[in-house]
Structure 1
Amino acid sequence: MGSTRRTGRWAMVAAVAVLLAAGGAVLMTRLSAPAARTPASAAPTMTAPSPSASPTPTPTRTPAPTYDLAGVPKVDVFALIPALHTDAHPSQKLSGEVVRPKADRAPVFASPGGEPVAYLPHTDPYGGTTVPVVERRDGWVKVLLVGRAHVPSHGDAGQLTGWLRADDVTTRTLPAQVEVDISKHRIDIVRGDDRERIAGDFAWGREETPTPHGRAFIMMVRAAPSLAYTRGRPVVYLSVQSPALDGFGGADVAVTAFHYHDAHSGAISNGCLRLGASAITALAALPPGTPVTIRP
């Protein structure tokens, strides 16, 4: 009889163990339920836990690659960088959007991707670091640049272009642009729909030393006391250089500029645009990077 009772107890313990192993959650629900008995025919109920909201993943951005720029040339007025291309669309209008490097140096590319072929400094004694945008692609801006790919005696000396990463530059839009029309003898400063005629008579390059045509920008504004013909008035230097002269005045550059000269009418210059006093004053008030378009 005792053996039978012990056998029954062990059977009950075993049954409870099975229930705990297989249905522990059900047992806990019953133990936590109110004291009223659950009818034998009713199935026990459970409340499913509310699924916790999955946190929104924070997008990760792949850091832009860094480059060792020690071995590439600086983009400045003296540079000759044959790896960069000259402007393929010089007659297209500029938007007024300009950029400037955020850091001391921004890598310059011949085309988006690849390896840099030069760098654009944040500051330079001769300016040319605030540059107009001529095209945008995803993450990239194509800009006009100072310097040349070649001197005229060795190749195309036209206006340079290059690509910068958009993350490497700050962007703003300048309110004014300058439009020069040589055949119509007029120079205008254009601000939106407003057009200010600052010159109806000026001088431009002779046939053998022509003024370059197309789009460019103001590189810097600086007085040049050594140039007596300016009579102390500022010179507005442009990003583009002579299409005919390798250098000028003993220097190895031939920069085009707006400047004052007593004689300022007709095709008489070495390529620069000679103006009267009021026109030079108006142009000298414009900031570096201001787009300039010269039409023949």
Structure 2
Amino acid sequence: MPISRSRRNLLMLTAMVLVVAALVGFRLTRGGGPGPADPAQPIVAADTPRASAEPPAAVPPAAQPPADLPVIAYAKGPRGLPADPEPESVVPITEALRPGTKTALYDAPGGRPRAYLPPRISGLPVVVPIVARENGWAAVLAPSSNRTIGWVPETGWTPEPLRDQIVVSLADRRMTWLREGAEQGRWTVAIGTERTPTPHGRTFVLGRTGTSGAVYAGLDALVLGSVPEEPEKLAASLRGAHTGIHAWTNRSAFGREVSNGCVRTPAAGMRELLAQVDPGTPVIVTA
């Protein structure tokens, strides 16, 4: 019996639909859409932590210091240590190292030991600010030197907190005392001359010492870790000295370049600093 034209068209359309459906189903099962997962590919949730591509770097070991390693003294600073990479940074320094015993300072993390940092220098307890950390090592400001750091392994000691900071602006002849970032006092001061400048950069309060003479208002001075830039230009009696902050009763000196490198401050300001500031307090001298 012959098939009518309309029935033949209907059969052809049905066959085409079945072919397309079969092709789509085959594609889905082969991973072209939301078909069954490939058993060779594990399912990983979007928030599953992935293993780091690089394992943590090992802490560089500390070389044994030689028996004849020099010890930092009041008039003898370290040699071979690196320069402070940010000497005039005013970013607050909040921690310090107080060595319980002689502690070797290295020229880099895992580098060479260059000098011993003693627990006391000329009777003053040593507290040095921590200015950087790297891979299990800490960098501290080295005393009896200018703009110098030394590295120590972060083992066998606990950092101490620092709350104060003193900033001396050479351009403005101004000294500012900050506690936890808040200004506590500001004074116009006298600074070193062009021949005997006040050392710029980061240093710290090493301790306090007595003074002799009415011009110091009978007040102790704060001894800093920094030393004269060119000691040969000073009187022989001052060449082994450190920079200091001390009172000065001759008010005509304030705002001028007149000292041998020390910072001269009004007596009232000096009394406040002596009552409040502890050893290890960072002192930043900016140009």
TM-score, structure 2 length as denominator? 0.70
**Shift in CA distance, 248/143, structure 1 to aligned 2, threshold 3 Å:** farther
Matched, 1:182 2:170: yes
Q: Cα distance, 1:94 vs. partner? A: 4.0
CA distance in 2, matches of 1:82, 1:279: 35
1:259 aligned partner: 246
Matched, 1:235 2:217: no
Matched, 1:81 2:72: no
Q: Secondary structure at the match of 1:190?
A: strand
**Shift in CA distance, 140/159, structure 1 to aligned 2, threshold 3 Å:** same
Q: Provide, for residues 97-146 of structure 1, a one-character-per-residue CA deviation record: whole Å limited to 9, x for no partner.
A: 111113x2111111111342211112333536210111101221001011
Q: Structure 1: state its 5+ residue gaps.
A: 1-61, 149-157
Is this contact kept in 1: 2:62–2:153, CA < 8 A? no
1:123 aligned partner: 120
**Shift in CA distance, 251/112, structure 1 to aligned 2, threshold 3 Å:** same
TM-score, structure 1 length as denominator? 0.68
2:130 aligned partner: 133
CA distance in 1, matches of 2:107, 2:181: 35
Q: Secondary structure at the match of 2:171?
A: coil
Is this contact kept in 2: 1:73–1:117, CA < 8 A? yes
CA distance in 1, matches of 2:239, 2:259: 19
**Shift in CA distance, 114/214, structure 1 to aligned 2, threshold 3 Å:** closer
1:195 aligned partner: 183
Cα RMSD of the aligned pairs, angstroms, is 2.3
Is this contact kept in 1: 2:144–2:242, CA < 8 A? no
**Shift in CA distance, 87/127, structure 1 to aligned 2, threshold 3 Å:** farther
CA distance in 2, matches of 1:260, 1:173: 27
Is this contact kept in 2: 1:69–1:119, CA < 8 A? no
2:191 aligned partner: 204
Q: Secondary structure at the match of 2:140?
A: strand
Is this contact kept in 2: 1:186–1:197, CA < 8 A? no
CA distance in 1, matches of 2:151, 2:137: 7
Q: Structure 2: state its 5+ residue gaps.
A: 1-58
CA distance in 2, matches of 1:65, 1:213: 31
CA distance in 1, matches of 2:97, 2:238: 29
Q: Provide, for residues 236-288 of structure 1, a one-character-per-residue CA deviation record: whole Å limited to 9, x for no partner.
A: 01111121224655254241111112223111111111111111112223111
Aligned residue type for 1:81? P
Q: Which runs of 4+ in 1 moved over 6 A?
A: none
**Shift in CA distance, 146/181, structure 1 to aligned 2, threshold 3 Å:** same
2:283 aligned partner: 292
1:278 aligned partner: 268
Is this contact kept in 2: 1:96–1:174, CA < 8 A? yes
CA distance in 2, matches of 1:80, 1:268: 26
CA distance in 2, matches of 1:69, 1:251: 32
CA distance in 2, matches of 1:170, 1:252: 35
Is this contact kept in 1: 2:72–2:143, CA < 8 A? yes
1:43 aligned partner: none
Is this contact kept in 2: 1:108–1:162, CA < 8 A? yes
